[in-house]
Structure 1
Amino acid sequence: MPAKDPFRPADDAARALARRLIDTARFGALAVLREGAPFVTRVALAPGADGVPVTLISDLAPHTAALRAAPLCSLLVGEPGPRGDPLTHPRLTIQAEAAFVAHDAPDRAALRAQYLMAQPKAQLYVDFGDFHFVRLVPRAGHLNGGFGKAYVLKPADLGAG
């Protein structure tokens, strides 16, 4: 007998929860492949104008070189609440492709302004030459909205397709 699929079909409530998790995330766990092995780090985030999560990373960080070598990555957003079991709080894993934004890109100024609204302390280093905005373009999402509320989401479900 085949195993029952634990994932529910995406619905409006799941899409809204995923969108809220992306829009309110100021930090996330970014997983990359580094030297052939998984490597996870915490990154600061802001939603881009199109809703795609954006981070600002330095060439000095090991995950920057890893993303340049292999742009497929994974981002976990959703912080545990102040009470209860952390695993009962909603969280979203986004399978993404890293897209570096060129320093001379026409939309960089708008992206910079939006990022600084969410991450004002980045004003100290946002214009350093070794820092780069990276859009984490969703390819798929896995939403855990709480016990028995698991969904597989497409880019369009995340407002990115």
Structure 2
Amino acid sequence: MAETDPIRPTDDEARALARALLDGATSGALGVLADGAPMVTRIAVARDEAGGPLTLVSALSQHTTALRAQPACSLMVGEPGDKGDPLTHPRLTLQCRADFVPRPGADHDRLRALYLRQQPKAKLYIDFGDFALVRLRMTAGFLNGGFGRASRLAPEDLGLA
């Protein structure tokens, strides 16, 4: 008996839903490898000029140490609604590479301003010495748009190539 691939071909509807999930995200679940073991934490999320995920992390956190040691990570965005089964609500998982933004520098200053426009409360701590901006560069993605609506995504599908 032949297996049926449950993943649908990536179409414009899937691309639009994935883009909307990423654009609407203010937080997400970051998955890292900490001392060889999986770890997930919630992070604040903004978007860079291309619409790619951008976050701010503290050197005091375990996930920052893990990202510096192993920059491969994942980010899941998309919150369940107030009603119904949480598994029927759409979510987007991105496989990424964490790129720490050096400071000082023009790139840092530009991304700092972008981040603060989207996460204004971060003004309280963004300039503390232990905080760093991190671009999460998408390498692959997976959209679960609800029951029977799953698609694989490439960076090109979200305009992130």
TM-score (norm 1): 0.97
Counterparts of residues 124-135 of structure 1 (less than 5 Å): 124-135=124-135
After TM superposition, list the pairs within 5 Å mapping 1:67-106 onto structure 2: 67-106=67-106
Give yes or no for contact 1:141–1:158 (8 Å, CA) kept in 2. no
Residue of structure 2 equivalent to 1:16: 16
List runs of 5+ in structure 2 lacking aligned partners.
Answer: none
Instruction: Give the structure 2 partner of residue 33 of structure 1.
Output: 33
Q: Distance in 1 between matches of 2:145 and 2:93?
A: 11
Identity of aligned residues (%): 61
Cα RMSD after superposing both structures? 0.9
**Per-residue displacement from partner, 1:7-66 (whole Å, max 9, x unpaired)?**
111111111111111111000000000011001100000011111100100000000010
Give the CA deviation at 1:105.
3.0
* TM-score normalised per structure 2: 0.97
Q: Distance in 1 between matches of 2:2 and 2:127?
A: 54
Contact (CA 8 Å) 1:94, 1:141: kept in 2 or not? yes
1:2 to partner: Cα distance: 3.1
Residue in 2 that maps onto 1:3: 3
Deviations 1:52-94 (A, max 9, x none): 1001000000000100110000111000111111111110000
| 1-structure distance, mates of 2:113, 2:23 | 16
How many residues were matched structurally? 161
Which amino acid in 2 is paired with 1:17?
L
